[in-house]
């Protein structure tokens, strides 16, 4: 009976290999971002000036171990005809090249220092280097994460590392070169592998996606390139995850399209549009709107610390835009326009203030037991700090005597109030254009304020005993002395709040303190007294009346205080 011919079984493609392994560079031409190192190695091989030990250092995923394997292939390649010598372009088809690529060459020994840290492990290497290579031109030892070796192991390796046999080469790789002893570093030719720039990663990932037959939006690839932080391996791992996510979303076994929103959600990044809206509410002084936006994002699964990072990234982008150095291809046209608008209307001083507040708040939110509450308090702190007068404005108010008695509502600088309605309410003050007053002048003005309002007890304490360590807008740190008493900080803070309409944080601290107004005056009086005593007429008067004393005139004393 004639039966239909059974179809031949499809050839198995083997187990899936992740992109980081599948696209590991096999030649120096495929090693991206390390042109200086490749040129140095090429010249050294061409001139037969090869070092006996190489050290590759750099952040994770920039190609340290891959470079070590490429050097091993370059030194042991014999060419397709078996007659070649060391070359910067190994053929990849000869037996040594294929064996090294597959990790089975008997003369290329890879060792993980993290699991072989002791002196006994190094002693095995010292014993083995005496014997020539079995089949290769050089016997090569590749030691990964070499900084994990113990101090005794490093010491045991030193002599062999300095004067190895001519048939032995050492290739070290490490992410923490500062932990490698200087005695080892001095015996190696060191290569610092640089981080891979986002544009290089974008081009590399785009080429890989084309080979894999996967479509992706350009902003999605930029997001992955930025998230990689200069590491090819990290970026390929994220790309692998994004491809799997795209396949799942499309409901097919392959061919899914990677979108920017999808990558952002996968990485747990806050929505850029929502962050832009949050920034607008913060700059506009809308505390209720800011809280509502934060809670809406939190309900969608966005972590509070991710929202803080988003605000920091946006603040950084606006600051760079002010100096024409901001260029983020992942930004939409609308976001780019808004950043440019903020860059024109906000000065460097308020942007720096906003950055410092967010930077400090980031650590607080990261360590908090309830991050959402800390984020809400952080935003309220940022909005409230925008209404504090700067030192120059406070000095003018004190001089004119027109201090407000109630807290002021957040206000926008004049340059912003004239702008478009959707971004006009920006209470963070533009640069005042005046230098902050000297510390002594500011303390003197505070003393005058206390005297004017009839708070003589505090005025005397400020004049005689207040030694300033730090004096910033809304912040006073002073040296604690018994004469001030335990309630001084609270009393002074409450009084300044009542008289200036702004909250001042007054607290004792440690550090170098400036003398008080009274001490400055006493030193000045003592200096004046010494100079007066040297006058001939005064010397004659004191000689004629030995019991006479120099006394400062009360009117002059009051003038000096004021």
pLDDT in tens, 185-227: 998 989 888 888 888 899 999 999 988 888 888 888 888 888 8
State the CATH number of the domain containing residue 324. Answer: 1.20.272.10
Give dist(CA 55, CA 69) in Å, integer: 13
Residue 172's pLDDT band (boundaries 50, 70, 90)? very high
The verdict on 454 and 375 lying in the same domain is no
The verdict on 117 and 168 lying in the same domain is yes
**What pLDDT was estimated at residue 3?**
46
Q: Is residue 14 situated within a structural domain?
A: no
Give the tens place of pLDDT for each residue, 431-453.
Answer: 333 333 333 346 777 878 788 77
The verdict on 70 and 175 lying in the same domain is yes
Q: Is residue 225 situated within a structural domain?
A: yes
Examine the pLDDT at 253 and tell me if it is beyond 80. Answer: no
Mean pLDDT value of segment 391-396? 55
CA dihedral 459, 460, 461, 465 (to 10 degrees): 120
Q: Out of 111-115, 347-351, 541-545, pick the least confident.
A: 541-545
Give dist(CA 508, CA 488) in Å, integer: 10
Mean pLDDT value of segment 247-269? 66
Q: Is residue 7 situated within a structural domain?
A: no
**Main-chain dihedrals φ then ψ at residue 56, nearest 5 degrees:** -105, 125
CA 259, chain centre distance (Å): 28
The verdict on 56 and 121 lying in the same domain is yes
Give dist(CA 49, CA 227) in Å, integer: 39
Mean pLDDT value of segment 372-379? 90
The verdict on 340 and 477 lying in the same domain is no
Structurally, how many domains does the chain consist of? 5
**What pLDDT was estimated at residue 161?**
87
Examine the pLDDT at 372 and tell me if it is beyond 70. Answer: yes
Higher-confidence residue: 94 or 410? 94
Where among 137, 168, 192 does a domain terminate?
A: 192
**Per-position b or e across 381-400, b if 16+ CB within 10 A of its CB:** ebbbbbbbbbbeebbebbee
Number of Cβ within 10 Å of residue 184's Cβ equals: 22
Examine the pLDDT at 391 and tell me if it is beyond 70. Answer: no
**What pLDDT was estimated at residue 171?**
92
Q: Is residue 188 situated within a structural domain?
A: yes
**What pLDDT was estimated at residue 532?**
67
**What pLDDT was estimated at residue 131?**
86
Examine the pLDDT at 7 and tell me if it is beyond 50. Answer: no
**Main-chain dihedrals φ then ψ at residue 25, nearest 5 degrees:** -60, 135
Most confident of 5-9, 168-172, 196-200, 516-520: 168-172
Range of the domain at 524: 518-561
The verdict on 369 and 477 lying in the same domain is no
Q: Is residue 240 situated within a structural domain?
A: yes
Coarse DSSP helix, strand, coil percentages of the chain, rounded to the nearest 5 percent: 55, 10, 40
Element (H, E) at 475: strand 475-479
**Main-chain dihedrals φ then ψ at residue 537, nearest 5 degrees:** -65, -35
Give dist(CA 497, CA 478) in Å, integer: 18
The verdict on 36 and 179 lying in the same domain is yes
State the CATH number of the domain containing residue 148. Answer: 3.40.50.300
Q: Is residue 403 situated within a structural domain?
A: no
Structure tokens belonging to residue 306: 């991710």
List Cα–Cα distances, 67 to 104, 141, 243, in angstroms: 17, 13, 27
Number of Cβ within 10 Å of residue 274's Cβ equals: 17
Give the tens place of pLDDT for each residue, 272-325.
Answer: 778 888 888 888 888 888 899 999 888 877 889 889 988 998 888 888 888 876
The verdict on 72 and 94 lying in the same domain is yes
Average pLDDT, the chain: 78
Please report the DSSP string for 337-397 in residue order: HHHHHHHHHS-HHHHHHHHHHHHHHHHHHHH-SSHHHHHHHHHHHHHHHTTSPPHHHHHHH
Residue 413's pLDDT band (boundaries 50, 70, 90)? very low
CB-neighbour burial class of residue 420 (10 A; exposed 0-12, middle 13-18, buried 19+): exposed
Examine the pLDDT at 414 and tell me if it is beyond 80. Answer: no
Helices vs strands, H then E, count in the chain: 25, 10
**What pLDDT was estimated at residue 55?**
92
The verdict on 504 and 385 lying in the same domain is no
Q: Is residue 421 situated within a structural domain?
A: no
Q: Which residues pair with 135 in a beta bridge?
A: none
Q: 427 near 411, Cβ under 8 Å?
A: yes
Residue 387's pLDDT band (boundaries 50, 70, 90)? low
The verdict on 49 and 170 lying in the same domain is yes
Give dist(CA 407, CA 285) in Å, integer: 14
List Cα–Cα distances, 267 to 139, 297, 303, 423, in angstroms: 44, 15, 11, 29
**What pLDDT was estimated at residue 530?**
66
The verdict on 155 and 239 lying in the same domain is no
Number of Cβ within 10 Å of residue 128's Cβ equals: 12
Where among 246, 266, 286 does a domain terminate?
A: 266
State the CATH number of the domain containing residue 214. Answer: 1.10.8.60
The verdict on 151 and 250 lying in the same domain is no
Examine the pLDDT at 401 and tell me if it is beyond 60. Answer: no
Residue 419's pLDDT band (boundaries 50, 70, 90)? very low
Higher-confidence residue: 442 or 243? 243
Q: What proportion of the chain, given as a percentage, has pLDDT over 90?
A: 5
Give the tens place of pLDDT for each residue, 461-503.
Answer: 888 888 888 887 778 888 888 888 888 888 888 888 877 777 7
Q: Out of 62-66, 326-330, 354-358, pick the least confident.
A: 326-330
Where among 164, 192, 220 does a domain terminate?
A: 192
Examine the pLDDT at 247 and tell me if it is beyond 60. Answer: no
Helix axes 456-465, 517-533, angle to 10 degrees: 60
Q: Is residue 334 situated within a structural domain?
A: yes
Q: 348 near 322, Cβ under 8 Å?
A: yes
Q: What proportion of the chain, given as a percentage, has pLDDT over 70?
A: 77
């Amino acid at each position: 009976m004639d039966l239909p011919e059974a179809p031949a079984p499809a050839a198995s493609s083997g187990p899936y290999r992740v992109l980081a392994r599948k696209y590991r560079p096999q030649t120096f031409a495929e090693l991206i971002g390390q042109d200086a190192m490749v040129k140095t190695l090429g010249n050294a091989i061409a001139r037969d000036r090869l070092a006996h030990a190489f050290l590759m250092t750099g952040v994770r995923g920039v190609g340290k171990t891959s470079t070590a394997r490429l050097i091993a292939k370059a030194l042991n390649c014999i060419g397709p005809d078996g007659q070649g010598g060391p070359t910067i372009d190994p053929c990849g088809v000869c037996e040594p090249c294929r064996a090294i690529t597959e990790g089975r060459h008997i003369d290329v020994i890879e060792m993980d220092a993290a699991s072989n840290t002791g002196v006994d492990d190094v002693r095995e290497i010292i014993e083995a280097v005496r014997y020539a290579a079995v089949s290769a031109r050089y016997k090569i030892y590749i030691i990964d994460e070499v900084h994990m070796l113990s101090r005794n192991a490093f010491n045991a390796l030193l002599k062999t590392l300095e004067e190895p046999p001519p048939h032995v080469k050492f290739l070290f790789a490490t992410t923490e070169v500062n932990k490698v002893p200087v005695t080892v570093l001095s015996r190696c030719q060191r290569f610092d592998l640089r981080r891979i720039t986002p544009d290089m990663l974008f081009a590399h990932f785009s080429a890989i996606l084309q080979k894999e037959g996967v479509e992706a939006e350009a902003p999605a690839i930029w997001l992955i390139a930025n998230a990689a932080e200069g590491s090819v391996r990290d970026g390929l791992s994220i790309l692998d995850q994004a491809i799997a996510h795209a396949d799942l979303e499309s409901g097919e076994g392959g061919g899914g399209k990677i979108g920017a929103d999808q990558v952002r959600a996968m990485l747990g990044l806050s929505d850029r549009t929502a962050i832009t809206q949050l920034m607008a509410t913060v700059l506009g002084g809308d505390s209720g709107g800011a809280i509502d936006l934060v809670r809406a994002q939190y309900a969608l699964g966005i972590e509070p610390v991710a929202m803080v990072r988003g605000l920091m990234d946006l603040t950084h982008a606006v600051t760079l835009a002010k100096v024409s150095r901001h260029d983020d291809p992942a930004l939409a046209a609308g976001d780019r326009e808004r950043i440019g608008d903020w860059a024109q209307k906000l000065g460097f001083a308020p942007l720096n203030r906003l950055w410092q507040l967010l930077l400090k708040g980031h650590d607080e939110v990261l360590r908090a037991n309830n991050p959402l509450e800390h984020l809400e308090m952080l935003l309220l702190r940022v909005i409230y700090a925008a209404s504090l007068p700067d030192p120059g404005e406070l000095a003018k108010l004190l001089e004119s005597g027109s201090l407000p008695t109630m807290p002021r509502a957040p206000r926008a600088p004049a340059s912003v109030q004239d702008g478009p309605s959707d971004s006009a309410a920006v209470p963070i003050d533009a640069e005042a254009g005046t230098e902050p007053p000297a510390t002594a002048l500011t303390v003197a003005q505070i003393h005058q304020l206390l005297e004017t309002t009839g708070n003589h007890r505090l005025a005397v304490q400020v004049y005689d005993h207040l030694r300033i360590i730090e004096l910033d807008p809304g912040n006073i740190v002073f040296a604690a002395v018994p004469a001030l008493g335990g309630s001084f900080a609270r009393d002074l803070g409450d009084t300044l709040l009542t008289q200036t309409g702004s909250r001042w944080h007054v607290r004792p601290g440690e550090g170098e303190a400036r003398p008080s107004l009274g001490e400055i005056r006493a030193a000045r009086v003592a200096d004046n007294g010494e100079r007066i005593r040297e006058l001939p007429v005064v010397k004659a008067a004191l000689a004629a009346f030995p019991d006479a004393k120099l006394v400062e005139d009360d009117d002059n004393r009051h003038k000096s205080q004021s």
